[in-house]
């Protein structure tokens, strides 16, 4: 957590940090040469496919694979019997965690299927079409059970149980009570009852948000080769090669050293490419056939069976005192886990009231099993749902008090020293600066006019994470540096990491050759997630550069036959302290063979000085009162990056987060029918924003340095998805006077709300 | 299954012959038989545009075209957009404007945008957004993509 440290260097004249070089992997990606997971091809390679449950909740009575095995071209068929048994053991995924017994049962169903699309068996065949034919030939008999699809249903006492042995962990204790409620936690600050008793104005609302998917364009894939010497290689698109190695080794019951994971280029993740799905299947099919096996999910499989993020039910209440200060806040947050335990109420609870200084807070969080795929992180997981609730109520408070929503936020702003309800006391944060930037923006100063048009404001918070990162770098004789690191590059982090090394050594970003390495070639590195990569792996690269600098100072001393204490390094040049001798980094690099041989730097970090990120969004919309459709007219995202190392890609994260948040706000949802079958498992029916749905997305980068990083870096990837849903809801209210409390705010939902307001006339 | 069909086509300016099963899409042929993996598969039912190619200059989703339909056609894939002289202006502008993040949709966007700019020298922002609405990007929010296309159009007009 955000422990205050003073690692910030306070540099004001950066040479590389804050510039906009062309990303190192750019050319490969614009000419089609970059190799993603599905681009793998190998001699003798087989193709795998997965048998999936047609039911949301059922007991598997029998699986008959004989017809599939008899099909020409089919080389192997596996079921859960082929996976080693697992004991209950919690595996940390870097972002989220998994019980290995459940992870195994998610990879291949163990006796029961818990969601539509749950994997039941897998086949390998000489080509993908034969594999798909074999899938259709596998007969599975099911005893169909009643599905449970909402947290409210699942929490009822007589609800059908998904996992018969699941008991509720409440406030850290096992209650022994069999239930779909896996976890209940609570955060308490001050005396919430007293706070509400003292409030002049109390507003309480209930909110429902739909299950949504990360929507990365590249489907999950894995290719595995289990060699005759029992060395296993996995090629896949993942946010974290090391967590894939760890999970795969555990599920296969082999030592981690027996598995090498080669991270291919990754076509988006957003939290959804951390847990394993196909990797152990491909590995076991490879062991059984002696050939490499490639598996690629279809889009339907991606939507049915990989982790979407949690839908939720939130009840939220806030109280305001005479002075217009928030004096009390309460939240009841019930989040879907999907078919197995592990959800996102906990991070949601860390964020729900985070932008505000509130003396009395109570938060109850619940994570609940439902017959949907096991949920996974999605960009600030849990926080968008949470902010939708709290920020909508804040807007209603501002309306009732007749105060400017940004002035209200400034007046109630959390700042350095404020204690958050879940415990931490903020170090230096940029919350107020974001609100002030919004207040002084041209967008906010421009009056919005027109019928059925409205403006909405919302704040957001994400705490960001640190975790483990490793980097190694070698000095080349031409004065460049080859950098090896373990963080998958999903959106320009090769460059943002390389820039932090270049800054120390006084070389250009282009003079660093960054490479993302496999798990045998670099030290353990956690996932690209939690907005940590530029922060933590960048720090490792910075440390690497310091290591190189120290070694080169000694080499210069050797060259000049002086003490290393008498060598100084500044802006890419080594000098003797009397200035009589100087040599550039490049020239010294060219002489290394003569003065001791090659130089390599290395570093591993696990930084604790994480700096949380705040954001404010301003959005202008227009509601078509005939159809209920909401059009986005103008949008601005204001966000504290700490220090924007690579501003082009900081803006990109902000714009991407806004776009996803708007999709979540207006269109995206998992549509289940009454039998619990996913009715919209395609990108036609799971409707993500196209470029026609969005305007340009204005960005304002605020830079309040994080005291816990040498360059002041905070994470940037996640917080921009937090405010959009609430901001759009508040804009809809401003436009047509209806308070939207469910996500998505689809045309049908907006129309329903308008009709309810206007007695069914359908016009505003 | 019926036997394989012999197909003669033109891909990126070169005459190409291949054998394919009638059930194989041109996307599958390009990727799995001809090693042209720059064309990506995101949904296999024409909704994401990651597999965009040009057929006789028109942008199409290659997941919706069968391999046998390539007979006698002129196909351009992302691998045919740059030349020996260097990157196409669209490719250069995508780099300069940071118009890609993960990069999986990028080949499809560049191919689709090339079709637009081959036909129209000065498309409006609205026109660009309409033309590219068949290509999904989940990372960028489209802002920098649209700007890159606008900038490439200006440069190509010079």
Task: Mark yes or no for CB contact B138/A268 under 8 Å.
Answer: yes
Q: Is the dihedral of CA A716, A7, A242, A517 positive or negative?
A: positive
Task: Mark yes or no for CB contact B141/A656 under 8 Å.
Answer: yes
- Shortest Cα–Cα distance, A237 to chain B (Å): 11
What is the spatial distance between Cα A103 and Cα A252, in angstroms, rounded to a whole number? 12
Angle separating helix axes A724-736 and A747-757, nearest 10 degrees: 40
Position A518 confidence tier, pLDDT thresholds 50, 70, 90: very high
A655 touching B (Cβ < 8 Å): yes
Task: Mark yes or no for CB contact B79/A31 under 8 Å.
Answer: yes
Measured CA to CA in angstroms, residue A180 lies from A209, A309, A337, A582 at distances of 19, 18, 9, 70
CB A320 within 8 A of CB A357: no
Residue of A449, A756, A435 lying closest to A620 (CA atoms): A449
- Which of A2-11, A19-28, A152-161, A593-602 is the least confident region? A2-11
Q: What's the confidence (pLDDT) of residue A89?
A: 86
A299 touching B (Cβ < 8 Å): yes
Provide mean pLDDT across the span A387-401.
98
Position A763 confidence tier, pLDDT thresholds 50, 70, 90: low
What is the spatial distance between Cα A119 and Cα A16, in angstroms, rounded to a whole number? 48
Assign 3-class secondary structure to chain B.
CCCCEEEEEEECCEEEEEEECCCCEHHHHHHHHCCCCCCCCCCCCCCCCCCEEEECCEEEEHHHCEHHHHCCCEEECHHHCCECCECCHHHHHHHHCCCCCCCCCHHHHHHHHHHHHHHCCCCCHHHHHHHCCCCCCCCCCCHHHHHHHHHHHHHHHC
A684 touching B (Cβ < 8 Å): yes
Where do we find the tokens 């394993």? A276
Task: Mark yes or no for CB contact A218/B42 under 8 Å.
Answer: yes
CB A101 within 8 A of CB A87: yes
CB A103 within 8 A of CB A276: yes
What is the spatial distance between Cα A476 and Cα A470, in angstroms, rounded to a whole number? 20
- Which residue of A lies nearest to B49 if distances are taken between CA atoms? A217
Q: What's the confidence (pLDDT) of residue A95?
A: 76
Of A33, A219, A651, the CB nearest to B38: A33
Share the mean pLDDT of chain A: 97
Measured CA to CA in angstroms, residue B144 lies from A34, A445, A719 at distances of 20, 25, 20
Task: Mark yes or no for CB contact A691/B82 under 8 Å.
Answer: no
- Shortest Cα–Cα distance, B64 to chain A (Å): 14
Q: What SS3 state is found at A699? A: strand
Peptide bond between residue B30 and the one before it cis (omega within 30 degrees of 0): no
Task: Mark yes or no for CB contact A490/B87 under 8 Å.
Answer: no
Contacts of B102 in chain A (CB under 8 A): 216-218, 265-269, 490-491
Task: Mark yes or no for CB contact A31/B146 under 8 Å.
Answer: no
Of B50, B95, B102, the CB nearest to A30: B95
Q: What's the confidence (pLDDT) of residue A761?
A: 59
Task: Mark yes or no for CB contact B103/A265 under 8 Å.
Answer: yes
User: To the nearest 10°, the Cα dihedral for A535, A538, A540, A546?
Assistant: -120
A23 touching B (Cβ < 8 Å): yes
- Shortest Cα–Cα distance, B32 to chain A (Å): 8
Task: Mark yes or no for CB contact B98/A492 under 8 Å.
Answer: yes
What is the spatial distance between Cα A557 and Cα A562, in angstroms, rounded to a whole number? 5
Residue of A438, A76, A330 lying closest to A226 (CA atoms): A76
Of B104, B134, B143, the CB nearest to A36: B104
Task: Mark yes or no for CB contact A697/B141 under 8 Å.
Answer: yes
Task: Mark yes or no for CB contact B138/A23 under 8 Å.
Answer: no
Measured CA to CA in angstroms, residue A747 lies from A625, A730, A732 at distances of 9, 16, 12
- Shortest Cα–Cα distance, A20 to chain B (Å): 9
Q: What's the confidence (pLDDT) of residue B65?
A: 98
The answer, yes or no, to whether residue B158 has pLDDT greater than 90, is: no
Structure confidence by residue, pLDDT tens digits, A209-219: 999 999 999 99
pTM of the predicted structure, to 2 decimals: 0.97
Contacts of B82 in chain A (CB under 8 A): 31
Q: What's the confidence (pLDDT) of residue A1?
A: 37
- Shortest Cα–Cα distance, A295 to chain B (Å): 13
Beta bridge partners of A634: A620
Task: Mark yes or no for CB contact A299/B104 under 8 Å.
Answer: no
Angle among Cα A143, A149, A151 to the nearest 5 degrees reads 130
CB A238 within 8 A of CB A298: no
Structural domains in chain A, sorted by start: 382-388+399-464+610-757 (3.30.365.10), 466-605 (3.30.365.10)
Structure confidence by residue, pLDDT tens digits, A497-510: 999 999 999 999 99
Position A94 confidence tier, pLDDT thresholds 50, 70, 90: confident
Structure confidence by residue, pLDDT tens digits, A140-176: 999 999 999 999 999 999 999 999 999 999 999 999 9
Position A760 confidence tier, pLDDT thresholds 50, 70, 90: low
The answer, yes or no, to whether residue A3 has pLDDT greater than 70, is: no
Contacts of B42 in chain A (CB under 8 A): 217-219, 267, 299, 683
A216 touching B (Cβ < 8 Å): yes
Structure confidence by residue, pLDDT tens digits, A549-567: 999 999 999 999 999 999 9
Position A86 confidence tier, pLDDT thresholds 50, 70, 90: confident
Of B23, B41, B78, the CB nearest to A129: B23
Q: What's the confidence (pLDDT) of residue B1?
A: 56
- Shortest Cα–Cα distance, A693 to chain B (Å): 9
Of A22, A656, A691, the CB nearest to B95: A22
* Start-to-end CA span in chain A (Å): 47
B-proximal residues of A, 172-191, CB under 8 Å = none
The answer, yes or no, to whether residue A2 has pLDDT greater than 50, is: no
Beta bridge partners of A52: A119
* Tokens at A737, concatenated: 């006077």
Provide mean pLDDT across the span A399-423.
98
Q: Best mutation site among B46, B51, B103, B110 for testing chain A: the one with the most A CBs within 10 Å?
A: B103
The answer, yes or no, to whether residue A412 has pLDDT greater than 60, is: yes
Q: Are strands A573-576 and A360-369 parallel, antiparallel or unpaired?
A: unpaired
Residue of A250, A242, A213 lying closest to A117 (CA atoms): A213
User: What percent of chain A has a predicted confidence (pLDDT) above 90?
Assistant: 97
A266 touching B (Cβ < 8 Å): yes
Position A92 confidence tier, pLDDT thresholds 50, 70, 90: confident
A492 touching B (Cβ < 8 Å): yes
A25 touching B (Cβ < 8 Å): yes
Chains A, B: CB pairs < 8 Å: 182
Task: Mark yes or no for CB contact A31/B82 under 8 Å.
Answer: yes
Contacts of A34 in chain B (CB under 8 A): 103
Position A90 confidence tier, pLDDT thresholds 50, 70, 90: confident
Structural domains in chain B, sorted by start: 5-80 (3.10.20.30), 89-157 (1.10.150.120)
Backbone φ and ψ of B15, nearest 5°: -70, 130
Q: Best mutation site among A23, A32, A655 for testing chain B: the one with the most B CBs within 10 Å?
A: A32
Q: Best mutation site among A30, A47, A309, A492 for testing chain B: the one with the most B CBs within 10 Å?
A: A30
* Tokens at A538, concatenated: 């960048």
Where do we find the tokens 């749950």? A118
- Shortest Cα–Cα distance, A297 to chain B (Å): 10
CB atoms within 10 A of CB A692: 14
A491 touching B (Cβ < 8 Å): yes
DSSP state of A608: -
Structure confidence by residue, pLDDT tens digits, A624-665: 999 999 999 999 999 999 999 999 999 999 999 999 999 999
């Amino acid at each position: 957590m955000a422990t205050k440290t003073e690692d910030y260097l306070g540099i004001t004249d950066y040479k590389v940090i804050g510039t906009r070089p062309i990303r190192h992997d750019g050319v490969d990606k614009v000419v089609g040469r970059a190799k993603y997971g599905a681009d793998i091809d190998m001699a003798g390679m087989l193709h795998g496919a997965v048998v999936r449950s047609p039911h949301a909740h059922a007991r598997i009575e029998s699986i008959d694979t004989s017809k599939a095995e008899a099909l020409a071209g089919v080389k192997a068929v596996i079921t859960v019997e082929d996976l080693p048994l697992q004991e209950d053991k919690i595996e940390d995924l870097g972002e989220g965690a998994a019980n290995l017994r459940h992870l195994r049962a998610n990879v291949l169903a163990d006796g029961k299927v818990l969601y539509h699309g749950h994997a039941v068996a897998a086949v390998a065949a000489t080509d993908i079409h034969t594999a798909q034919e074999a899938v259709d030939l596998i007969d599975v008999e099911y005893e169909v059970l009643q599905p449970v699809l909402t947290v409210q249903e699942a929490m009822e006492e007589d609800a059908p149980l998904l996992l018969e042995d699941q008991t509720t962990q409440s406030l850290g204790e096992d209650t022994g009570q069999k239930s779909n409620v896996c976890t209940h936690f609570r955060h308490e600050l001050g005396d919430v009852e007293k706070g509400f008793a003292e409030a002049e104005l109390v507003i309480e609302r209930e909110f429902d948000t739909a299950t949504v998917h990360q929507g990365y364009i590249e489907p999950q894939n894995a290719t595995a080769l289990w060699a005759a010497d029992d060395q296993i290689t996995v090629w896949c698109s993942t946010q974290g090669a090391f967590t894939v190695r760890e999970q795969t080794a555990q599920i296969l019951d082999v030592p981690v050293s027996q598995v090498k994971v080669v991270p291919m280029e990754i076509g988006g993740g957003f939290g959804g490419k951390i847990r394993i799905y196909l990797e152990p299947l491909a590995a076991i099919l490879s062991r059984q056939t002696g050939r490499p096996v490639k598996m690629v999910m279809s889009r339907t499989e991606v939507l049915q069976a990989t982790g979407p993020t949690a839908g939720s039910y939130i009840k939220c209440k806030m109280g305001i005192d005479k002075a217009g200060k928030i004096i009390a806040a309460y939240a009841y947050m019930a989040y879907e886990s999907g078919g197995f335990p592990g959800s996102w109420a906990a991070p949601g609870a860390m964020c729900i009231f985070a932008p505000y200084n509130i003396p009395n807070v109570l938060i109850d969080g619940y994570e609940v099993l439902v017959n949907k795929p096991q949920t996974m992180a999605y960009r600030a997981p849990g926080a968008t749902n949470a902010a939708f609730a709290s920020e909508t109520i804040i807007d209603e408070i501002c309306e009732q008090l007749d105060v400017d929503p940004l002035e209200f936020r400034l007046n109630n702003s959390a700042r350095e020293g404020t204690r958050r309800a879940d415990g931490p006391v903020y170090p230096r944060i940029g919350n107020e600066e974001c609100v002030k930037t919004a207040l002084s923006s041209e967008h906010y100063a421009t009056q919005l006019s027109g019928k059925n048009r409205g403006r909405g404001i919302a704040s957001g918070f994400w705490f960001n994470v640190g975790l483990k990162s490793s980097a190694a770098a070698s000095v080349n004789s031409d004065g460049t540096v080859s950098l090896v690191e373990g963080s998958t590059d999903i959106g320009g982090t090769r460059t943002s990491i390389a820039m932090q090394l270049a800054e120390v050594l006084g070389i250009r970003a282009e003079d660093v050759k960054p490479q993302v390495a496999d798990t045998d070639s670099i030290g353990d590195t956690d996932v690209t997630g939690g907005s940590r990569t530029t922060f933590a792996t960048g720090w490792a690269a910075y440390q690497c550069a310091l290591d190189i600098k120290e070694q080169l100072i000694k080499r210069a001393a050797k060259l000049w036959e002086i003490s290393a204490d008498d060598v100084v390094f500044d802006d890419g040049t080594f000098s003797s302290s009397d200035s009589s001798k100087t040599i550039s980094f490049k020239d010294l690099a060219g002489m290394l063979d003569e003065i001791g041989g090659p130089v390599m730097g290395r570093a591993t970090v696990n930084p604790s000085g994480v700096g949380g990120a705040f954001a404010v969004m301003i959005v202008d919309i227009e509601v078509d009162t005939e159809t209920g459709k909401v059009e986005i007219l103008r949008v601005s995202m204001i966000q504290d990056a700490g220090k924007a190392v690579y501003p082009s890609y900081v803006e990109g994260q902000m714009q991407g987060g806004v776009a996803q948040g708007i999709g979540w706000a207006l269109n995206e949802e998992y549509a289940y029918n009454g039998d619990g079958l996913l009715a919209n498992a395609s990108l036609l029916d799971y409707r993500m924003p196209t470029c026609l749905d969005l305007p340009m997305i204005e960005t304002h980068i605020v830079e309040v340095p994080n005291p816990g990083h040498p360059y002041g870096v905070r994470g940037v990837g996640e917080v921009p998805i937090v405010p959009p849903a609430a901001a759009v809801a508040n804009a809809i209210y401003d436009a047509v006077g209806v308070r939207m409390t469910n996500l998505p705010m689809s045309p049908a939902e907006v129309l329903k709300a308008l009709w309810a307001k206007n007695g069914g006339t359908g016009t505003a | 299954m019926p036997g394989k069909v012999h197909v003669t086509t033109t891909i990126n300016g070169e005459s190409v012959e291949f054998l394919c099963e009638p059930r194989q899409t041109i996307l599958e042929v390009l990727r799995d038989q001809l090693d042209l993996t720059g064309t990506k598969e995101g949904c296999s039912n024409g909704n994401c545009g990651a597999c965009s190619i040009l057929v006789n200059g028109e942008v199409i989703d290659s997941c919706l075209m069968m391999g046998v339909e390539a007979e006698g056609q002129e196909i351009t894939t992302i691998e045919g957009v740059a030349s020996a002289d260097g990157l196409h202006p669209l490719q250069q502008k995508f780099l300069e404007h940071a118009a890609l993040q993960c990069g999986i949709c990028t080949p499809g966007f560049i191919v689709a945008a090339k079709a637009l700019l081959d036909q129209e020298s000065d498309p409006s922002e609205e026109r660009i957004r309409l033309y590219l609405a068949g290509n999904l990007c989940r990372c960028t929010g489209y802002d920098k993509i649209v700007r890159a296309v606008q900038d490439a159009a200006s440069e190509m007009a010079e």
